[in-house]
């Protein structure tokens, strides 16, 4: 029996329990996920994602994995960049989120170079050296075994490929942290209740951000997984960080 523990927000749960509970959270919020992201970030999430896509430096004909891609925001931007000869895989562990993403992209006529795969980031069901780029936006903090996920990403990335991790992180100044904490703990769960009728799921999302590895810790985890020339860019004072790493062999 596995007696290991991990975090589910500020709660300690059995290692094997977290994945199931995270699935339940995102099944609950799937329909309102993008709307809530805009409200929570005051629309700034669009700028963060634009910056991530820019540094991803996708080229025509490449294969890109949009991991934890959920509602398809990043895939929508990646599809025209890879062109008709390229390919984007939108992968997410949660089928409800995948269905939202699939429906929205199909409604917009974006489907020619996209495939949808339900997959666990810790055990990606792809062959080694499958992708030129991997991008994971606001998903890594929900993974139970982040080290295993990073190793799995390294395995499926091609030599010369690039990993981009866009994730909430740690504000770099004390005044900003105080404002951010007040906004996160006092206001966001109430927004979740009023907009998505789900205060507890958004309370978990706030808590999960605080439990996620800080900038330098994640940088070290990437190095341990094999990635090289790793760096990060703090966005909005460190509220979000964009980590970048390369696979050379």
The Cα 5–Cα 13 span in angstroms is: 6
Q: What is the pLDDT of residues 109-134, one digit of tens each?
A: 998 999 999 999 999 999 999 999 99
* Residue 99: CA count within 13 A, CB half-sphere: 10
Q: What is the pLDDT of residues 66-93, one digit of tens each?
A: 999 988 999 999 999 999 999 999 999 9
Q: Write out the two tokens for 131.
A: 């992708």
The Cα 145–Cα 143 span in angstroms is: 6
- The confidence band for 149, taking pLDDT boundaries of 50, 70 and 90, is very high
The Cα 24–Cα 178 span in angstroms is: 30
Domains of the chain: 5-173+202-246 (3.40.50.150)
The Cα 24–Cα 27 span in angstroms is: 5
Pairing of strands 87-92, 131-137: unpaired
The Cα 149–Cα 17 span in angstroms is: 17
- The confidence band for 206, taking pLDDT boundaries of 50, 70 and 90, is confident
**Residue percentage of the chain with pLDDT more than 70:** 98
Per-residue pLDDT at 2 exceeds 70: no
**Is 110 strand, coil or helix?**
coil
Q: What is the pLDDT of residues 208-236, one digit of tens each?
A: 889 899 999 999 999 999 999 999 999 99
* The pLDDT of residue 186: 87
CA–CA distance from 112 to each of 85, 88, 106, 109, 121 (Å)?
Answer: 10, 10, 9, 8, 24
Kindly report which listed range (34-38, 136-140, 167-171, 199-203) carries the lowest average pLDDT score: 34-38
pTM of this structure: 0.92
């Amino acid at each position: 029996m596995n007696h290991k523990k991990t975090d589910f927000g500020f709660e300690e749960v059995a290692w094997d329990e977290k994945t199931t509970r995270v699935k339940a959270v995102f099944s609950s919020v799937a329909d309102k996920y993008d709307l809530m992201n805009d409200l929570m970030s005051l629309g700034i999430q669009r700028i963060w994602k634009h910056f991530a896509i820019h540094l991803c430096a996708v080229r025509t004909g490449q294969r890109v994995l949009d991991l934890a891609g959920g509602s398809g925001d990043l895939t929508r931007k990646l599809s025209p960049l890879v062109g008709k000869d390229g390919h984007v895989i939108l992968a997410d562990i949660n089928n409800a989120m995948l269905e939202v993403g699939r429906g929205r992209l199909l409604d917009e006529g974006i489907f020619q170079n996209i495939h949808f795969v339900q997959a666990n980031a810790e055990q990606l069901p792809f062959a080694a050296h499958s992708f030129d780029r991997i991008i994971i936006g606001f998903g890594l903090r929900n993974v139970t075994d982040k080290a295993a996920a990073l190793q799995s990403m390294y395995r499926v990335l091609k030599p010369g490929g690039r990993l981009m991790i866009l994730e909430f992180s740690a504000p770099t100044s004390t005044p900003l942290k105080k404002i951010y904490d007040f906004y996160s703990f006092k206001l966001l769960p109430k927004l979740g209740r009023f907009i998505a009728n789900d205060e507890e799921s958004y309370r978990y999302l706030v808590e999960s951000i605080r439990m996620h590895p800080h900038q330098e810790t994640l940088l070290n985890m990437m190095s341990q997984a094999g990635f090289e020339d790793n760096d990060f860019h703090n966005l909005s004072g460190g509220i979000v960080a964009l980590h970048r790493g390369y696979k050379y062999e």
